[in-house]
Amino acid sequence: MKLYSEGNFRDLAALVVAAAESLTADTGTAHHSSPKPKNGDVIRVNRGLYSHYGVYVEGCRHVIHYTGATGPDDFNGIVRETTLDEFLNGAETFSVCHFPEHPENFSHYTAGKKGGIFRLWQALKALKLKDYHLYSGDEAVRRARSKLGEGGYNLALNNCEHFAVWCRTGVKDSSQVNKIIDIITYFMS
């Protein structure tokens, strides 16, 4: 028995692409100035199967992010301020994430024939946006520093992306977790 039809697979692919495009990013390198992150920017480094996120602190080239107390390979995460090099953990490139001044209208995610748990999940994602506020870079750094030493890391509910996006927008959200839940709920409906 097929789990999906060709049409449903195209719909799913479009959904995943739309979710991925909700954040645009410029790629830069650790040792070059293009793009040069600004104070409070959310930066992302590719770690293979996942991306790691943090809040850039201009001037000292530091990043505030969830990381292990003993380094990036310790998964008992706490919020720490580290050097950019420690954040990159050997990676040569990183991306600067951009957020809109006002949240986009996500109502198109709930449109269509799918129902049940998929539509409920899409509605819950849209509901999160009521807390959206694009903070300045300085405010984002203040918010990040207010959480230094905080534990409570949880891969699905409170990871590095949830933290960094919250610092900048006031919304705890993870596109990586959302994409997985999008796929699961799509096929469950």
Q: In whole angstroms, what is the distance from residue 150 CA to residue 98 CA?
A: 25
Q: What is the model's pLDDT at position 21?
A: 38
Q: What is the pTM of this model?
A: 0.73
pLDDT, tens digit, 9 for 90 and up, residues 39-82:
999 999 999 888 999 999 999 999 999 987 666 566 678 999 99
* Averaged pLDDT, 114-128: 61
Give the CA radius of gyration of the chain. Answer: 17
- Kindly tell me if the per-residue pLDDT of 2 is higher than 50: no
Integer CA distances (angstroms), 106 to 102, 124, 128, 185, in order: 12, 11, 11, 17
Q: In whole angstroms, what is the distance from residue 151 CA to residue 149 CA?
A: 6
pLDDT, tens digit, 9 for 90 and up, residues 92-108:
999 999 888 877 643 33
pLDDT, tens digit, 9 for 90 and up, residues 123-179:
666 667 778 889 999 999 999 999 999 998 888 889 999 999 999 999 888 888 878
Identify the CATH number of the domain defined by range 23-188. 3.90.1720.10
* Separation of CA 105 from chain center: 18
Domain map (residue ranges) of the chain? 23-188
* Averaged pLDDT, 87-96: 93
Are 140 and 55 in contact by the 8 Å Cβ rule? The answer is: yes
Task: Tell me the two tokens of residue 75.
Answer: 């998964």
Task: Tell me the two tokens of residue 147.
Answer: 């959480």
